[in-house]
Amino acid sequence: MLVIGAGVIGLELGSVYARLGSEVTVVEYMDAVCPGMDKDVQRGFKRMLEKQGVTFIMGAAVQGVEASKTKAKVTYQPKKGGDAEVIDADVVLVATGRKAYAEGLGLDALGVKLTERGQIATDAQWRANVPGLFAIGDVIEGPMLAHKAEDEGMAVADVIAGKHGHVNYGVIPGVVYTTPEVATVGATEDALKAEGRKVKVGKFNFMANARAKAVHQAEGGFVKIITDKETDRILGAAIIGPGAGDLIHELCVAMEFGASAEDVALTCHAHPTYSEAVREAALACGTGAIHS
């Protein structure tokens, strides 16, 4: 199986087939998996998938796919230059992104304004330029996530009812449903530094977490918390490891309330649980983790 694109969907489906016994090769145009994600997660995530048997060809631009009844030939060229190469595959999965699907809605007839990407343009309260028309989810700007659309749906219902609808787009978690899971929320360390923000990072490896070691899911995983260096307020977080998609919500709640890493560090966490790794990472933002 050849997967074109090392984004969330490509890695989720590619890793499933790899664990089912398929030989999986992923071709990605960028130099890292999951472009835009925290660099520490990108590196660790790629290593873990490679250990599961996934092969990566990075920095490669796919030129085309020639399909026959039983096979497919994929031609790609290195982004930095060089001769084109061909890979034979039984099946090819194209996972290079998604776009808004609004066909058949009659938007042209209504005169609905669209963005350059073909999504419905809305204001801060999700109103389109046509009176009485609201839009949410994948057909407007922002991450194409079901839970983002759900929040927008509830907010729009409030607006229609004459209330103030609110969605905190800075605290929407993203989860990659592989094994192990990867979860992120907020800003990345690099993005904050690019803005000139002074940050402090706390990191804790699951190798020092009793629960993860007990179930043989400790290798390579970690929790990373990024805070404002002056105020200790949590600005972002990333988790790669067992139950990451559930663990990230503790940090989402903390960010929603404007909590500091110290607030999380001073909160008692049950032992033995995966969530202890979150507390340890919060401690690492201060004087240091106690089990590293």
CB atoms within 10 A of CB 144: 16
Q: Are 76 and 60 in contact (CB under 8 A)?
A: yes
User: Using CB atoms within 10 A of its CB, is residue 48 exposed (0-12), middle (13-18) or buried (19+)?
Assistant: buried
Active site residue 291: no
Q: Are 183 and 174 in contact (CB under 8 A)?
A: yes
- Give residue for tokens 């030129």: 63
| Active-site hit among 147, 166, 249, 271 | 271
- In DSSP terms, 165 is beta-bridged to none
CA 118 distance to own-chain centroid: 23
Q: Are 129 and 149 in contact (CB under 8 A)?
A: no
Q: Are 228 and 46 in contact (CB under 8 A)?
A: no
Please name the residues in contact with 116: beta carbons below 8 A apart, sequence gap of 6 or more. none
- DSSP for residue 121: P
Asked if the peptide bond before residue 143 counts as cis, ω within 30 degrees of 0, the response is no
Helices (DSSP H) in 22-90: which residue ranges? 39-51
- Main-chain dihedrals φ then ψ at residue 11, nearest 5 degrees: -75, -35
* Distance between first and last Cα of the chain: 39
- In DSSP terms, 66 is beta-bridged to 73
Catalytic residues: 271
